[in-house]
């Protein structure tokens, strides 16, 4: 794999060659992941069984600092212009594609990255495809540790069990894992919330989003693929991702751009669900009644509605200069296994040739993950939160050769060592919440625990969020 600074790639782009072809088989991405468990270089992006899974790395383009998104955008554009490809399908996700994860803060020590995989298998409502990439010079040597190229992709697909729950092998029961405080203990996080509230009361900001982390060490090795499979199974309505050590199942769509039309989902305002409350298919009438009551409480909560309106307004303010049309219907409630959120779906038509990464740069950081006003909230976060978020709450997603793609916010996520979690190599799990002047600090701590529940469950932490 070649590693290059984004500015160097923009100035002297690497020449790549891509070939996309349709696959005759229907692809189950979760089953496909199961065939890749020994790989340490998996990238994945999926929702409701659709998306993409890749392996092998031709190129990793990296950037850091306040211009990191623009540097990645310029590098990708230059790389696409220098490359050649065959793509008879010409639809979202085919042809040249890079997957990326971007640091939350311009001051982060962690670099932002776009990864071009050697093999990328995609699936949408119209079928499946495989794209292979190589250096045009022919100097690239495929890894011999696992299948690569079109033949390797087809061989892997041939080993996947038939689609359907009866064909899936039972998954090992998660083993209990140990959990230690990260940058702040529970008591220190509560105190940090109170400090942020005092600064808001003094007029510095109207909303501040504070996050925390915990360190999880599993009792037995848990490959990245197994964690992804659990997240995709338990949170099918979320976007499940794995890019360069960041994994998660996020419910928040920062921006999707397709055919010049954008979609963005703003989430802010949260109600915690009781653990093990059942799914839509299994919950009892009493549980359903309780869920409906919780949704009514959330819709009527003055604090949560103010929090949501600030996040919604920040997204509209960022998008309107870049779009010829922007629409934002009334907010609504979405239900997830761990929480309920107030949500707003924003749609629009971009002006000119504005691409997905330009939209990402304009939107990030939203008030949903930073606060408002943005500079003041970011300053309070840097002085009160006590940690470098890295790529947590930063953009994560993919971009294609049109400049279009799909990007979410890396929530419900963790930083995982190469190859996955294992004894002696802690996983850094994140959770955060929007702090308002009238927030209850202890309640905000409980909200972060609820938001950690997806990844903690995948890691085998039993009962930690009950």
Catalytic residue numbers, as ranges: 207, 252
SS3 content of the chain, % helix, strand, coil (to 5): 30, 35, 35
DSSP line for 359-390: HHHHHPSPTTTTEESHHHHHHHHHHHS-S--T
Cα separation of 85 and 96, whole Å? Answer: 7
Q: Give the helix ranges, DSSP H, for 131-239.
A: 149-158, 186-201, 224-234
- Angle at which helices 68-82 and 356-363 cross, to 10°: 180
How far is residue 125 CA from its own chain's centroid? 22
And the tokens for 57?
A: 């790395």
By C-alpha distance, which of 54, 146, 40 is closest to 99? 54
Cα separation of 271 and 259, whole Å? Answer: 35
189 and 384 Cβ atoms separated by less than 8 Å: no
Burial (CB count within 10 angstroms: exposed 0-12, middle 13-18, buried 19+), residue 115:
buried
- Name the phi and psi angles at 310, rounded to 5: -65, -40
| C-alpha distances out from residue 20 to 42, 96, 231, 400, Å | 19, 9, 28, 13
Burial (CB count within 10 angstroms: exposed 0-12, middle 13-18, buried 19+), residue 445:
buried
Cα separation of 442 and 413, whole Å? Answer: 22
86 and 97 Cβ atoms separated by less than 8 Å: no
Cα separation of 248 and 414, whole Å? Answer: 6
């Amino acid at each position: 794999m070649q590693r290059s600074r984004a500015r160097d790639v923009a100035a002297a782009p690497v020449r790549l060659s891509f070939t996309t072809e349709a696959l005759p088989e229907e692809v189950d991405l979760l089953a496909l992941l199961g065939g890749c468990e020994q790989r340490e270089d998996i990238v994945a992006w999926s929702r409701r069984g659709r998306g993409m899974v890749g392996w092998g790395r031709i190129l990793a383009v990296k950037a850091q600092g306040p211009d990191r998104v623009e540097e990645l955008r310029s590098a990708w554009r230059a790389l696409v212009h220098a490359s050649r490809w065959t793509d008879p399908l010409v639809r979202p996700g085919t042809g040249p594609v890079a997957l990326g994860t971007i640091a939350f803060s311009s001051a982060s020590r962690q670099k932002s990255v776009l990864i071009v995989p050697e093999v990328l298998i995609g699936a949408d409502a119209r079928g499946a495809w495989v794209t292979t990439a190589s250096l045009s010079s022919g100097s690239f040597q495929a890894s011999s540790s696992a299948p690569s190229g079109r033949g390797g992709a087809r061989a892997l697909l041939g080993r996947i069990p038939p689609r359907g729950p009866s064909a899936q092998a039972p998954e090992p029961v998660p083993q209990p894992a140990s959990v230690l405080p990260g940058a702040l203990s529970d008591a220190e996080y509560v105190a940090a919330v109170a400090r942020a509230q005092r600064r808001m009361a003094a007029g510095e900001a109207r909303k501040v989003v504070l996050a925390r982390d915990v360190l999880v060490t599993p009792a037995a090795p848990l490959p990245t693929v197994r964690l992804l499979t659990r997240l995709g199974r338990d949170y099918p309505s979320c976007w499940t991702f794995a890019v360069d050590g960041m994994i998660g199942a996020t419910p928040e769509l920062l921006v999707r751009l397709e055919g010049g039309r954008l979609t963005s989902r703003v989430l802010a305002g949260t109600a915690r669900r009781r653990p093990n409350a059942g799914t839509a298919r299994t919950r009892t009438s009493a549980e359903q009644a309780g869920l409906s009551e919780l949704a009514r409480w959330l819709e009527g909560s003055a604090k949560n509605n103010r929090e949501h309106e600030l996040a919604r307004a920040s997204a509209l303010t960022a998008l309107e200069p870049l779009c010829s049309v922007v629409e934002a219907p009334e907010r609504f409630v979405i239900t997830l296994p761990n929480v309920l959120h107030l949500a707003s779906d924003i749609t629009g038509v971009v002006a000119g040739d504005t691409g997905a990464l330009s939209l990402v740069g304009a939107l990030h950081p939203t008030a949903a993950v930073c606060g408002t006003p943005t500079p003041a909230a970011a300053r309070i976060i840097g002085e009160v939160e006590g940690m470098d978020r890295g790529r947590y709450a930063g953009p994560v997603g993919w971009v294609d050769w049109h400049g279009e793609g799909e990007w979410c916010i890396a929530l419900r996520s963790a930083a995982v060592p190469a190859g996955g979690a294992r004894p002696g190599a802690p996983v850094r799990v994140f959770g955060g919440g929007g702090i308002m002047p009238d927030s209850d600090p202890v309640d905000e701590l409980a909200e972060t625990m609820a938001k950690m529940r997806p990844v903690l469950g995948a890691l085998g932490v039993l009962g930690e969020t009950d």
